[in-house]
Chains A and B, each alone.
Chain A
Amino acid sequence: MNTLTKIVIPAIGLAVALLLAFVAYFVLQSWWSQPPAVLGFGDGPEQPIAFPHQVHINVAGLDCQFCHRSVSAEETAGIPAVNQCRFCHDFDRITGAKSESSSAETEIKKLIGTLGETPDPVNWVRVHRLPDHVQFLHAPHIQQGFSCSTCHGDIASMKVVEQVRNLKMRDCVDCHRENSAPTDCTTCHY
């Protein structure tokens, strides 16, 4: 009886308190910024084809705008069509790519499903998403001379794309203030 009241119950109480503290920390961190990188929340989502930006930027030497073509003129950067991949990759065999591993070959072969009479599009999983009440345009930011990595981080070193900045409103407004960009509400909310 004594063991129960003196050790076990306080121990359970402590565990519950620690758990609640963790939950509170997790929720508050997620709310005000980004979820902490625990329990797999720090990784970028798994994509249907494991496209490595690292390889394409560092090894192939591609610029962001080679694929994300509408970024300097439109609202979105634009995900390229699958045909863009065929600039270099012939889907029957691997050309133009020095595959370090057979996993690259596996991934490229997934594109074969996009050929033929009824091609399947590739359903990428969105990494960056702003709420519906934000009208964000890429074009003015690129035209001001900002590079993609300012907000998207060092994509060149990423095998799997993950979100590095929390992109909450405070994040945007801070940067706007620093750069004398308009900060009135209807810049983004209309």
Chain B
Amino acid sequence: MVSTKTKKRPDHKWGMVIDLDRCTACQACVIACQSENNIPINQESTFLEGRAIEWIRIERYWEGTYPNVKARFLPMLCQHCDNAPCESVCPVYATYHNNEGLNVQVYNRCVGTRFCGNNCPYHARLFNYWEPVWPEELKNQLNPDVTVRSRGIMEKCTMCIQRIRRATRGGKEVADQSFNPACVQACPTDAMVFGDLNNSQTQVSKKWEDERGYRVLEVLGTNPSVKYLKQVEVDA
């Protein structure tokens, strides 16, 4: 007999805090993400065409010139904006905000208008201009939990929704830090913290209140789910 009671998923709201004072731009998060999410390999030609796909990238901004020079790093990924500019422009409703606060991308609906990528102020969205190919042996490494995208599909950070699904299967309670997206799990300096913002006891909720916290391009009103902690500068 069919059960008439559906298990409700406790409503999580996933968020992330990135501490810019800890980040060293080591690229561990970048590569971990590519491994986890079946991202096509960025060949030399891909970089030359300006079409490298990195769901998370480390941006580097210069200030000044030698001898008074400073480089600052900003790990940039999909901000999962609560008021996302990308969601309202998709003509086929391939991207929407789910009940857990994530901006999700439905690959099989996407028809490749790229309007969403155009609208994103963070350049978080990446498009597959060509069919991704892997040499036969390297296909053994592909993650079966993540759909392999073909040409013409927009993709971006999903906060490793496949890991969220695995952890929350059956609607069971999820302990803080029991799982993390690939980037957070790799980060050697613990610069990245992920978790449920609906639960005030999680690490991410506590870091969310840090006095150094701010959100990138907040004035645009996108209401991101990713907060950054300001880098600290001392009189050196």
A adjacent to B, CB under 8 Å: yes
Given the interface pairs A180-B6, A185-B104, A185-B106, the reply to whether A190 lies near B148 with Cβ below 8 Å is no
Task: Name A residues whose Cβ lies closer than 8 Å to a Cβ of B.
Answer: 131-133, 135, 137, 139-140, 143-146, 179-182, 184-186, 189-190
Q: Is the CB of A179 within 8 A of B161?
A: no
Q: Please, which residues of chain B bring their CB within 8 A of the CB of A140? A: 169-170
Is the Cβ of B169 less than 8 Å from the Cβ of A189? no
Question: Can you report 25 residue pairs joining A to B where beta carbons are below 8 Å apart?
Answer: A133-B107, A135-B162, A137-B169, A140-B169, A144-B3, A144-B6, A145-B1, A145-B2, A145-B3, A146-B2, A179-B6, A181-B6, A182-B9, A184-B96, A186-B98, A186-B106, A189-B106, A189-B108, A189-B109, A189-B147, A190-B104, A190-B147, A190-B158, A190-B161, A190-B162
**Which residues of B lie under 8 Å from residue A181 when comparing CB positions?**
6
CB neighbours of B147 from chain A (8 A): 132-133, 135, 189-190
Binding site for A on B (CB under 8 A): 1-3, 6, 9, 96, 98-99, 102, 104, 106-109, 145-148, 158, 161-162, 165, 169-170
Q: Which residues of B contact A139 (CB under 8 A)?
A: 169-170
For the complex formed, measure the closest distance between the CB of B161 and the CB atoms of chain A, giving whole angstroms. Answer: 5
Which DSSP category, helix, strand, loop or mixed, fits chain A's interface? loop
- Interchain CB contact (< 8 A) of B161 among A144, A145, A186: A186
A182 to chain B, nearest CB (A): 8
Is the pair A143, B98 in contact by a Cβ cutoff of 8 Å?
Answer: no
Docked complex Cα distance between A131 and B150 (Å)? 13
- Which chain B residue has the least Cβ–Cβ distance from A169? B108
Docked complex Cα distance between A13 and B98 (Å): 55
